[in-house]
Amino acid sequence: MSAVNRAAVEAVLRQYTDPYLNQDPVSAGCVRNIEVQGDQVSVQMQLGYAAGLFKRGWAQMLQMAIEGIDGVGSAKVEIQCVIAPHKAQAQIPGLANVKNVVAVASGKGGVGKSTTAANLALALAREGARVGILDADIYGPSQGVMFGIAEGTRPKVKDQKWFVPIESLGVEVMSMAFLTDDNTPMVWRGPMVSGALLQLVTQTAWGDLDYLVIDMPPGTGDIQLTLAQKVPVAGAVIVTTPQDLALLDARKGVEMFRKVNIPVLGVVENMAVHICSNCGHAEHLFGEGGGEKLATQYGVELLASLPLSMDIREQADGGKPTVAAEPEGQVAMIYQELARHVGARIVLQEAAAPAMPTITVSDD
């Protein structure tokens, strides 16, 4: 029986790739400690993204691999998820109690952006993160309905200065709809809307959040630019359908975020395929492969491809989006994959950011 050492354990760990970081745990810097005592091995790892539903299976896989090393009697792999605040746009102050802001945006309305934002927030929460969602779609706020918050509900006010977000389904929710009458349209010009939204962002007493998901208004106008330039966004998710018109507008959304130096984490393709409930026939009603083409064009990841499903619509309208309504269902699993990819992409974006040059001043 050969002696076990740290190098042998690391060599085995390097053979396995984290499917979200696309690196082995050693190269990704996830391994915090390796202890070898005789034939017993203990490994402590840390993931920088929310992965509560993934880490147990990942730990078991690595444990079995380590126990396959000659000389190892037993192994124990412990994995923690520790989410750190990540860099946003330069010279924009962070939000109090919020580590990472994720913008969910689309170039046009009607592509399922708000549904994606709601399910992303719920999926991040299921993975063990502390999550909030801000409904910044001022002209068509819908998160209150999606989270089952009764019409007319108003947030409490703290110290005559802070709005206290309303908690629902394990997520902190804030929306302009909570401050207005649902039947009264917001007939405001751009500067008024921008000012109101910024006030909502900065004067909401969020809890200690790992992620704040912002459901952005559709389009690429003044409101979107103001939010992008004033709110510290760690990354953006672009939602589209495969339809050519939607893709055209989605490209504008990608370009907008690039102009304001916000990383685009990837693309979510909604309504990708329709499965007939009677015969099971699959049909691409809005075209095929559009989301993948958009992602390839801009060198980003296709984070998820979701079907055109009546259940997704009915569950959102009923105040319990898919992740909450059918957490073990096939579509909910797609949203869980989306949540893990979003968290991991934020980590990778920061790791890939170029280091700033050091400026040295001498008296010569």
Binding site for ATP: residue ranges? Answer: 107-114
- CA neighbor of 97 nearest in space, from 130, 67, 71: 130
> For the sheet containing 235-240, what is the strand order?
166-168, 171-175, 131-135, 209-215, 98-105, 235-240, 264-269, 301-305
**Cα atoms found within 13 Å of the Cα of residue 263, Cβ hemisphere only:** 25
What CA–CA distance (Å, rounded) separates 26 from 16? 9
Q: 250, 216 in Cβ contact below 8 A?
A: no
Q: 17, 24 in Cβ contact below 8 A?
A: yes
**Cα atoms found within 13 Å of the Cα of residue 265, Cβ hemisphere only:** 30
> What residue type is assigned to position 66 of the chain?
I
Point out the annotated binding site.
Answer: 107-114
